[in-house]
Amino acid sequence: MALAGLRRHVGRFLSASNELMAASLSAASCAEEMQKAEGGGCRDDAAALRIKEVAMAAILVAGVLGVGLPLAGRKRRAMRTDSAAFMAAKAFAAGVILATGFVHMLHDAQNALSSPCLPAVPWRRFPFPGFVAMAAALATLVLDFLATRFYETKHRDEAARVKAAAAAALAAASSASASEEDITVVTVVEDERKAPLLQTHCHGHSHGHGHGHSHSHGHELVQVEGREGDVSEHVRSVVVSQILEMGIVSHSVIIGLSLGVSRSPCTIRPLVAALSFHQFFEGFALGGCIAQAQFKNLSAVLMASFFAITTPAGIAAGVGLSTIYNPNSPRALVIEGILDSVSAGLLIYMSLVDLIAADFLGSKMTGSLRQQVMAYIALFLGAISMSSLAIWA
């Protein structure tokens, strides 16, 4: 009897779970979402396509300008990564990213997962957007930690090999001395991007019995380990730039797809200016991190290009999928809500931990009081500006 009762309960639970799963992942259109998507009768496929083309061009230009300015200006005095103007602009961009996570992405996730089209259980019984965002932030923390340890270990191994090579070079230079007049000079040459270079200069001068004369110079450059603080800061810059790009790219794809599948000009039109503004300052924050990480030119260009084309490519993909993808179905709402929540968690973590805390609580904010006040004002202005755009988009 007990076993039969247990089987009945398990069967009912599985049946109810299957029904909820089927209702949540249905591809059929939902009447409420259809009414919202129509925008009060504002549906015109041809006009929407024209606006999407304008949006792709405007967002691409904004992204290129945003990510390119810090990279192109890192050799100029006004836009160096330690200048007051750069710190203020990066603080403004950090505020924009923070507001994007809290005000835009998390709000969109909440709207999607609390839609009447989805079954009340479990979607309206549990705060899934906040939970998924928290899980994404914690996962980013673990990834951040592992990546930092990986790069630190890699750097230590390289430094150990270089120090061994330096010792061997010095020993070889000393043993190769042909007379007491030979001199071995060791100097340190600073390299802009990496640890200092150890330069050994051997000067040999000797006379033979047949009045022969020989004069030789030897030069060798070997790299030695830099200061521990500089190494750690460089490693953090590399990790931050890569994880920030991952977070920005992931939510840029989602935004692009959402705009691309929309058929309402009334919905798309206000998004063009908002997304261009958002793309410019996200690009500036990313470009600043890439500049601080001091990547080689090719790596920096590849990272910048990948960021710049992501949202336009997402829009183009959305246009192609609009004929087979139903954005008003429960399945689309669940996917959109979860992905928006993940993006929100990534952006909130990166803006608070790796952009705001790293700059405002670290050694970088050691300038004058005026510079610090400018950075704080820029941070709040960025957050307020991006939050205000939620009125229209």
The tens digit of pLDDT for each residue in 146-171 reads 988 888 888 788 777 888 888 787 77
Distance CA(81)–CA(91), nearest Å, equals 12
**Residue 389 token pair:** 């755009």
User: Which of 92, 103, 33, 29 minimizes the C-alpha distance to 66?
Assistant: 92
Instruction: Give the CA diameter of the chain.
Output: 115
Which helix (H) or strand (E) segment holds residue 223: the answer is strand 213-223
Phi, psi of 132 (to 5 degrees): -65, -40
What pTM did the predictor assign?
A: 0.75
pLDDT at 178: 47
DSSP code for 195: S
**Structural contact between residues 268 and 52, judged by C-beta atoms closer than 8 angstroms:** yes
The list of the chain residues with pLDDT below 70 reads 1-41, 75, 77-79, 176-232, 363-364, 366-367
